[in-house]
């Protein structure tokens, strides 16, 4: 169960990448009928809807709730290596904005 919850934790919207991404998130908000008049308002409403859905299906807010405090140190110790692996992954180049390793660690 923890592995599935780990993926679910990343169901977070991060529209700050570029103009095209913001426009697409606003279009999703429109498709869902969430309201809002500006792109930024629509994105805020979409984020709130996703966060509400996460609460409804009991998706934890943070990694500590999934892996437990006792494993958090182990995770943090491996974070640099995981970020480098993600950076080297061939799919990383398909992101709307090419991330820095520091972005991946966040």
Q: Domain boundaries in the chain?
A: 1-59, 68-105
Q: What is the model's pTM?
A: 0.62
What does the pLDDT profile of the chain (106 residues) look like in tens digits?
A: 444 455 455 556 565 556 677 888 899 999 999 999 999 999 889 988 988 988 898 888 777 787 888 888 888 888 888 888 877 777 767 766 677 777 766 6
SS3 sequence of the chain: CHHHHHHHHCCCCCCCCCHHHHHHHHHHHHHCCCCCCCHHHHHHHHHHHHHHHHHHCCCCCCHHHHHCHHHHHHHHHHHHHHHHHHHHCHHHHHCCCCCCHHHHHC
Q: How far, rounded to the nearest angstrom, does the alpha carbon of residue 40 sit from its chain's CA centroid?
A: 17
Q: How far apart are CA 89 and CA 105, in angstroms?
A: 14
């Amino acid at each position: 169960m923890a592995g599935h919850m780990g993926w679910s934790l990343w169901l977070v919207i991060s529209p700050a990448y570029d103009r095209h991404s913001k426009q697409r998130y606003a279009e999703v908000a429109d498709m869902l009928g969430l309201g809002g008049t500006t792109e930024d308002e629509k994105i805020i409403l979409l984020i709130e809807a996703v966060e509400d859905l996460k609460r409804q299906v009991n998706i934890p807010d943070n990694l500590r709730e999934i892996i437990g405090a006792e494993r958090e140190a182990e995770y943090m110790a491996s974070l640099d290596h995981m970020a480098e692996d993600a950076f080297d992954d061939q799919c990383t180049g398909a992101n709307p904005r090419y991330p820095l390793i520091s972005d991946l660690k966040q």
